[in-house]
């Protein structure tokens, strides 16, 4: 089962390396990883997805709590949450396919963020399955290049988590 974990860490050089090194040494595979600033100055927030059973995830959490400069770790998999991914996809276009691509992107509430003579860059933000679905449709036109973020997530509600 996939688990979404969130770790808060001091914004210092080497912390991400220590976290990823700990996971590597214990053979935990990371499906997705995102790190960015949090609402607290000097604290970064890491959201990552691991695939494994409850025991394995408990071990990941226990080990992460031991890493220097990691201040908190939480498994939000079973909590009501909002999760999103983003993808930028450069898709091949012709005069004949351009309007069809635009229509498909609009159905998915994506955006065309760049247009060239023979390609478009599409941005899609949404749940993982929605991003997957649009990418699958765009493959029919020829994906030239793609980059995709990992999952970012917040627990729903107005709880104070500090």
pLDDT of 159 reads 64
pLDDT at 161: 54
Predicted confidence (pLDDT) per residue in 103-130, tens digit: 999 999 999 999 999 999 999 999 999 9
pLDDT tens digit string along 54-68?
998 999 899 999 999
How confident is the model at residue 5, as a pLDDT? 95
The reported pLDDT for the residue numbered 160 is: 61
pLDDT at position 52, please?
85
- Structural domains in the chain, CATH included, are 2-75 (3.30.70.260), 82-152 (3.30.70.1150)
Nearest-angstrom CA–CA distance, 89 and 125: 11
Residues of the chain with pLDDT under 70: 159-162
Spatial CB neighbours of 69, under 8 Å, sequence gap ≥ 6: 9, 10, 12, 15, 18
| Sequence-ordered list of residues with C-beta below 8 angstroms from that of 143, at least 6 positions apart, any chain | 89, 90, 91, 92, 135
């Amino acid at each position: 089962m996939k688990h979404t974990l969130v770790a808060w860490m001091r914004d210092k050089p080497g912390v991400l390396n220590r976290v990823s090194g700990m996971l590597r040494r214990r053979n935990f595979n990371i499906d997705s990883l995102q790190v960015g600033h949090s609402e607290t100055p000097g604290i970064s927030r890491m959201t990552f997805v691991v695939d494994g059973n409850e025991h394995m995830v408990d071990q990941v959490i226990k080990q992460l709590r031991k890493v220097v400069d990691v201040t908190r770790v939480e498994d939000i998999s079973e909590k009501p949450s909002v999760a999103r991914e983003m993808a930028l996809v450069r898709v091949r276009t012709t005069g004949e396919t351009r309007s069809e691509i635009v229509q498909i992107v609009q159905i998915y509430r994506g955006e065309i963020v760049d247009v060239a003579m023979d390609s478009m860059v599409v941005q899609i933000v949404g749940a993982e399955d929605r991003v997957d679905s649009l990418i699958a449709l765009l493959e029919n036109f020829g994906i030239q290049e793609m980059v995709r973020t990992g999952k970012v997530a917040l627990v729903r509600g107005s709880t104070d988590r500090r």
